[in-house]
């Protein structure tokens, strides 16, 4: 008899075996369970017995089992994905209102187990700004950090080094991690001169990385600059998007105060990487090392997130909140590219507007789907996660907002305040910008972030009196608020 396959049921779980269980294990599990649930036995359960039989009928037959596994995988129900999705809502029971109401939903995508897939080989390029402004200790600090970076490379990694000013130069073409002496020597010889033209440097670096892109390599370009580029921003962004489509990530590190933060943010976002502010020399070493670790511990690549609100739910905003806070484009039916997942989880926060008079009872309000390339064979894997809440006309019980969500919201709302302030400033509304920064200062103070609160207060005064913030203060706030760390301890505070 041919069994019917129902991919919605987890047959492996029914039999209590893992997905890679051998046929002997499956047989043994079936015999034990059949004995327990057989209707004639004292512990009999006809319903359960039937289910055990159905599971066994499918899993005992290799062809059926394969078909079942494929169906599950295509539905995102497969349990062998190395990642998982968890979610939090600001309230799980909501009043059925005659007007709109707001619900916050946070989702986190994280590796399922701590071990990961082992170290991934890297295919990297460092793009170094060698313009005149880098002269002196700044360049020496960069060199020092890069020397350490080179030392940490594994033999199977690849690294190219590109220096740029008005034009770009390949200092070392893409070589293996075994050629450390050659890399060190080239870095030592680097002398600053000329202006800053990022596009040339970026293009040259991408050329080097493209030579080895593919296979198991994690390909990435790290740009370090201390200045502004003029007129080639648009071209650079187009190039970054093209690179991202080929699986090459781009990160941007801004050194000092004079670089264009909006441009580097956009570049890193287009390149699915990170943009960061380096205010002290020691930070550069730490960040480069962090980058190296993060890239080699990648467990899933090119994550695409699909957000599907149910009928009657409208997505108002979506932000990345982990590891750093930042805006994401509204998906409008398409995928949101989240880059690679390393051992650090990726979090997104959504504002969902519940339309008036929602249907009563428990309902799915949102579905998350993640597609990613997983494992050493880069298998395309799908994962699904539903978010449900209950609507009632009765009394809504007092509910605690989950601590992790609440703490994230507090930080996200401060980040938004200061971003809004810059937005108003751009439009010439110094009054509104001042008020927003003052509010941000108060919130930061409440959170115990006294240093950032002080900066916000100072910049609010500057804008109020001179109409413009300091370049340093603005960067401290923008990069400080986006990376307000959410420590694991935050989760325990309220328990």
Partner 1 sequence: MSDESKGTAIICPACGAENLPGTLFCTECGIYLPSGGPLRTEPLPDEQEGATSRRWVQESTLGVNQLVGITIEVLESGRRVPLALEEGKEIFIGRLDAVHGIFPELDLTNDGGLGHGVSRRHARIHTKNGVCFLEDMDSTNGTYLEDERLTPYLPYELHDGDIITLGTMRLRVRLHKRAA
Confirm or reject binding of residue 493 to partner 1 (CB under 8 A): yes
CA distance 299 to 114: 10
Which position among 219, 229, 236, 407 is part of the footprint of partner 1 (CB under 8 A)? 407
In what helix (H) or strand (E) does residue 262 lie, and over which residues does it extend?
Answer: helix 261-270
Confirm or reject binding of residue 260 to partner 1 (CB under 8 A): no
Which residue number, 93 or 213, has a Cβ lying nearer to partner 1? 93
Whether a cis peptide bond, with omega within 30° of 0, leads into 242 is: no
Q: Are strands 379-392 and 93-95 parallel, antiparallel or unpaired?
A: parallel
Confirm or reject binding of residue 315 to partner 1 (CB under 8 A): no
447 phi, psi to nearest 5 deg: -85, 0
CA distance 215 to 205: 19
At which residue do the structure tokens 């036995």 appear? 41
Confirm or reject binding of residue 354 to partner 1 (CB under 8 A): yes
Which residue number, 278 or 414, has a Cβ lying nearer to partner 1? 414
256 phi, psi to nearest 5 deg: 75, -155
Which residue number, 426 or 446, has a Cβ lying nearer to partner 1? 446
369 phi, psi to nearest 5 deg: -130, 135
Among 47, 51, 58, 52, residue whose Cα is nearest residue 2 = 58
Edge-to-edge, what's the strand order for the sheet holding 336-341? 93-95, 379-392, 361-374, 300-309, 336-341
Which position among 413, 465, 466, 471 is part of the footprint of partner 1 (CB under 8 A)? 413
144 SS3 class: helix
Q: How far is the CB of 142 from partner 1 (least distance, A)?
A: 37
**Contacts to partner 1 from residues 74-103, by CB under 8 A:** 90-91, 94-103
Q: How far is the CB of 113 from partner 1 (least distance, A)?
A: 30
Neighbours of 248 (CB within 10 A): 24
Confirm or reject binding of residue 146 to partner 1 (CB under 8 A): no
Q: How far is the CB of 12 from partner 1 (least distance, A)?
A: 39
95's tokens: 């009043």
**Contacts to partner 1 from residues 455-484, by CB under 8 A:** 457
200 SS3 class: helix
Confirm or reject binding of residue 30 to partner 1 (CB under 8 A): no
Confirm or reject binding of residue 438 to partner 1 (CB under 8 A): yes
Q: How far is the CB of 413 from partner 1 (least distance, A)?
A: 4
Q: How far is the CB of 13 from partner 1 (least distance, A)?
A: 35
Which residue number, 215 or 488, has a Cβ lying nearer to partner 1? 488
- The interface region with partner 1, picked from 213-221, 226-234, 378-386, 441-449 by CB under 8 A, is 441-449
Per DSSP, what are the bridge partners of residue 128?
163, 224
Confirm or reject binding of residue 361 to partner 1 (CB under 8 A): no
Confirm or reject binding of residue 406 to partner 1 (CB under 8 A): yes
| Contact mark string toward partner 1, 100..119, x via CB under 8 A | xxxxx---------------
Q: How far is the CB of 188 from partner 1 (least distance, A)?
A: 47
In sign, the C-alpha dihedral spanning 27, 30, 34, 36 is: positive
CA distance 82 to 113: 7
141's tokens: 């600090």
Q: How far is the CB of 99 from partner 1 (least distance, A)?
A: 4
Neighbours of 390 (CB within 10 A): 14
Confirm or reject binding of residue 431 to partner 1 (CB under 8 A): no
Q: How far is the CB of 338 from partner 1 (least distance, A)?
A: 24
Task: Report the chain's terminal Cα–Cα distance, integer Å.
Answer: 53
104 SS3 class: strand
Q: How far is the CB of 101 from partner 1 (least distance, A)?
A: 4
At which residue do the structure tokens 């460092």 appear? 126
Which position among 376, 394, 485, 488 is part of the footprint of partner 1 (CB under 8 A)? 394
Q: Which residues bind partner 1 (CB under 8 A)?
A: 90-91, 94-104, 353-354, 356, 393-396, 398-401, 403, 406-407, 409-410, 413-414, 416-417, 435-436, 438-443, 445-448, 450, 453, 457, 490, 493-494
């Amino acid at each position: 008899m041919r069994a019917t396959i129902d991919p919605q049921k987890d047959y492996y779980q029914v039999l209590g075996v893992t997905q890679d269980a051998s046929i002997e294990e499956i047989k043994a599990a079936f015999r034990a369970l059949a004995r327990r649930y057989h209707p004639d036995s004292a512990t009999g359960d006809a319903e359960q017995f039937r289910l055990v039989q159905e599971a066994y009928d499918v899993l005992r037959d290799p062809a059926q089992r394969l078909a079942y596994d494929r169906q599950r995988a295509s539905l995102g129900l497969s349990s062998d994905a190395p990642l998982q999705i968890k979610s939090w809502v600001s309230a799980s029971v909501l009043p059925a209102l005659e007007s709109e109401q707001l619900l916050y939903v946070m989702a986190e995508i994280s590796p399922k187990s701590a071990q990961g897939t082992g170290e991934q080989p890297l295919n990297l390029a460092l793009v170094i700004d060698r313009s005149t402004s880098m002269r002196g200790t700044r360049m020496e600090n960069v060199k020092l950090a890069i020397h350490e970076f080179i030392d940490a490379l594994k033999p199977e990694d690849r690294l190219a080094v590109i220096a740029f000013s008005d034009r770009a130069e390949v200092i070392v073409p893409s070589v293996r991690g075994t050629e450390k002496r050659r890399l060190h020597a080239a870095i030592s010889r680097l002398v600053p001169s000329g202006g800053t033209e990022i596009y040339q440097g970026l293009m040259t670096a991408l050329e080097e990385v493209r030579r080895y892109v593919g296979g198991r390599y994690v390909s990435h370009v790290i740009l370090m600059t201390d200045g502004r580029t003029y007129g080639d921003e648009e071209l650079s962004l187009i190039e970054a998007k093209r690179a991202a489509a080929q699986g090459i990530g781009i990160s941007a590190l801004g050194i000092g105060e004079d670089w264009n933060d909006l441009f580097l943010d956009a570049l890193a976002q287009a390149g699915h990487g990170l943009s960061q502010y380096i205010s002290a020399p020691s930070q550069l070493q730490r960040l480069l090392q962090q980058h190296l670790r993060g890239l080699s511990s990648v467990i899933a690549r090119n994550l695409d997130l699909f957000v599907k609100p149910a009928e009657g739910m409208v997505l108002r905003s979506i932000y990345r909140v982990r590891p750093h806070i930042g805006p994401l484009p509204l998906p409008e039916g398409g995928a949101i590219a989240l880059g690679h997942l390393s051992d650090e989880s990726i979090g997104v926060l959504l504002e969902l507007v519940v339309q008036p008079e929602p249907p009563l009872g428990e309902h799915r309000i949102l579905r998350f789907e993640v597609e990613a390339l997983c494992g050493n064979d880069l298998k395309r894997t799908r994962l699904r996660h539903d978010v449900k809440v209950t609507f009632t006309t009765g009394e809504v019980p007092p509910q605690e907002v989950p601590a992790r969500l609440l703490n994230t919201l507090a930080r996200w709302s401060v980040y938004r305040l200061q971003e809004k302030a810059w937005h108003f400033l751009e439009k010439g509304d110094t009054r509104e910008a001042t008020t927003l920064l003052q509010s941000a200062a108060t919130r930061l103070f409440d959170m115990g972030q006294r240093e950032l609160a002080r900066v916000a207060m100072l910049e609010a005064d500057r804008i109020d009196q001179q109409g413009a913030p300091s370049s340093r203060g603005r960067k401290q706030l923008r990069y400080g608020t986006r990376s307000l760390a959410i420590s694991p301890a935050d989760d325990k505070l309220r328990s």
